[in-house]
Amino acid sequence: ALQRAIELTDAAYTRTSERVKKSLSEGALRPSDLLAHFKQIQPSTRTQIWAAELLDNTVELIREMVYTHMMVQPSPHALTELLSVGDAESLLQVTGCSAELQRPRCDSGCLSERYRSITGKCNNRSHSRWGAANTPYSRWLPPEYEDAWGAPRGWDPEHTYHNFTLPPVRLVSQELLFTRNDHISLDSALSHLLVEWGQWIDHDMVQTPQSPSTAAFRSGADCTHTCSQEAPCFPIQIPLSDPRNGTQSCMPFFRSAPSCGAGTLPRRHREQLNGITSFVDASMVYGSSPSLALALRNLSSPLGSMALNSQHSDQGLAYMPFLPRTQSQLDPCGPRNGSRRSQGNNTSCFQAGDSRANEHLGMIALHTLFLREHNRLVEELHLLNPHWGPDTLYQEARKVMGAIHQILTWDHYLPRILGEDAAARLMPPYRGYDPDVDPGIANVFATAAFRFAHVTVHPVVTRLGPGYTTNPQHPPLPLHHSLFASWRIVQVSGGIDPVLRGLLLSPAKLQSPGQMMVEELTERLFQAQGGMPFDLAALNLQRGRDHGLPGYGSWRRFCGLPVPNTTTDLAEILHNLTLAHTFQLLYGTPHNIDVWVGAIAEPAVPGGRVGPLLACLLSRQFRALRDGDRFWWEKEGVFSEAQRERLRSVSLSRIICDNSRIARVPADPFSHAGKVEDTLPCSHPLIPRLDLQPWKEPDSGEEDSAPSF
């Protein structure tokens, strides 16, 4: 069984790789290809996924031999019957999973107390894998898969839950979430930069790799072309009532990769992997693996600088380096004219600490902004401490960058999402590091709760010229034309500034019943890349089912909130009888409602932008990320008291001033300024500079140095 599983796994990986290379060469990338191409995983992540999928495929073959060929009926404890403890241990060894589960050795020197590791390992000395890259998501409630083997909810469309089958996710998207682009309300209080920050910080904490195979393990079927439902393919069926039904019968969807660390065989359930560090540590700038972190650095720089683009600059301001191309291919981040091949050895795609940097223009703008901020910090620190070597400068700037992201998220972003009252109640003041708190990301947070902001995305990307004026060089773009379009940054004058101005002055979309998710995301996602567009709402719902997330009511109970049993109960919670009836028609019972759609349908708490369930889940996760981080910026000894005092003044507006040519900014960039008159010049006292003077150390006469990782 093991040898056959190796053959099947390797063959599926090879088929997928060859097909994507062929698509790149011919310029025929489909949306699913783009997602796979840009959601690149590091070699260490791929190694663990291969081991985990090999383990799953081996167990599946053994199961087939025992239960199919020997005609034995499985029980709820089927795995226990199938494998002895000794057999299970042997399988873990031969597949390589045992090696992936080894506890890492932690350094004990002073530098390990001063700087966090790039992988997140050894943040907690007793639980060295907590919060580290390539560890499974935690579970706040046990998963509810369709069977003992970890089949997704809805794998069998006839399977019933509470006497009802689950509705197709595309039908839920159409009936509950679809909102015309021109039928939205705008948030008069919050800017679109707040929405962008949510995704930016999500990419610091969460990356769920899907299986590297888009071919079925057993049959080899290409699941981007067929609707075959066999692992790892879990296609989204198109209902008969769907306008798309005449042109496609399903959307490709691939299961999230399994993790080796999903409990111990024989009693194990499927768990998914977080490919990056859980900590808010600016890993989307620096990477979560030593090899990527080194590749992003300018190792010839005496200042510990990050590598810059050698071909283009924004009139002297830096861009990220380009990703190299591996073969003759159309440029996946270039114009969609079907003929332009990438020049030289590079694409137009940027290389960053997170592989999703090229997803859309707003993400590119923030990546570029913080690349420049790192290099600005190392230059200032070098002037203060000329005796520091490049590694110390790099690590000290990285440490400051981590603190900046923590402060902007906890002090500036979360109060607007949770509301001031709920934030104060659910996020009590910091009391110090607690080594008993697991800072790992919960599956429900990654897969449902922190996807709430998808319903606040505006359908148009506003770009503005100098003075926040409309400019024919930078016209507004439909959202789908900004996806994987980094060429628009380097080939059109102005760089990231027009995008940043648009984010600062544009309002967020307001979430309300009947105005959930814009059609740019449900009907046109990746449409500009060719092929059939995706539906983000359907993807979110299918991902939750793939991960075995319990339903909406289970999470309400978990948070100590009233659980709806009837349509009347649900209407009271949602403050909307019509919406409750729609849920009832789709799901049959409130107990079956997928947690993501139920949570985003709740009316917001006072002063916030999420309902009670999301407020509970978000605050629980962010509290754990704060209290379980040994390098949290407020922890005694991480920074000096004088350094902490300076850090409290950090401002995203100041960072924009320091790293762009934008001369006027709002004092509060997350609030909707509305008009140019509401902005301030960068010299204004309300936009203070970060004073690094407390970082100055006496020169001992010897060059200081620190290990890179």
b/e map 405-444, b = 16+ CB within 10 Å = bbbbbbebbbbbbbbeebbeebbeeeeebeeebbbbbbbb
Return the structure tokens found at 613: 């369930």
Of the candidates 2, 1, 30, the one whose C-alpha atom is nearest the C-alpha of residue 16 is 30
Return the structure tokens found at 39: 């959601």
Q: Element (H or E) spanning 196, and its range?
A: helix 192-205
User: CA 145, 150, 156: angle at the middle one, nearest 5?
Assistant: 65
Of the candidates 237, 182, 271, the one whose C-alpha atom is nearest the C-alpha of residue 519 is 182
Q: Element (H or E) spanning 391, and its range?
A: helix 390-407
**Cβ pair 537, 172 in contact under 8 A:** yes
Strand 263-264, strand 267-268: pairing: antiparallel
**Cβ pair 75, 164 in contact under 8 A:** no
**Cβ pair 680, 686 in contact under 8 A:** yes
CA distances in angstroms from 399 to 107, 624, 695, 697, listed in the order given: 18, 20, 12, 16
- Which amino acid appears at position 437 of this protein? V
Q: Helices (H), strands (E): how many in the chain? A: 27, 18
Residues contacting residue 269 through CB under 8 Å, at least 6 positions apart: 142, 143, 145, 150, 262, 263, 548
Whole-angstrom distance, CA of residue 492 vs CA of residue 602: 42
Return the structure tokens found at 420: 């001031």
Q: Can 203 be counted among the known catalytic residues? A: yes
**Cβ pair 633, 151 in contact under 8 A:** no
- Among the listed residues 159, 192, 203, 480, the single catalytic one is 203
Residues contacting residue 652 through CB under 8 Å, at least 6 positions apart: 193, 197, 408, 412, 669, 670
Distance of CA 613 to the CA centre of its chain: 21
Strand 680-681, strand 664-665: pairing: antiparallel
**Cβ pair 580, 570 in contact under 8 A:** yes
Strand pairing partners for 681? 664
Distance of CA 480 to the CA centre of its chain: 19
Residues contacting residue 192 through CB under 8 Å, at least 6 positions apart: 362, 458, 462, 502, 503, 506, 507, 508
- Residues, the chain, total? 709
382 assigned binding-site residue: no
Return the structure tokens found at 696: 């100055």
Side-chain half-sphere exposure of 615, counting CA atoms within 13 A? 26
Max distance between CA atoms of the chain, in angstroms, equals: 78
Of the candidates 537, 509, 540, the one whose C-alpha atom is nearest the C-alpha of residue 524 is 537
User: CA 433, 436, 438: angle at the middle one, nearest 5?
Assistant: 90
For tokens 């200032």, name the residue: 380
Sign (positive or negative) of CA dihedral 15, 17, 19, 25: negative
Binding-site residues for heme b sit at 454
Binding site: which residues? Answer: 454
Residues marked as catalytic: 203
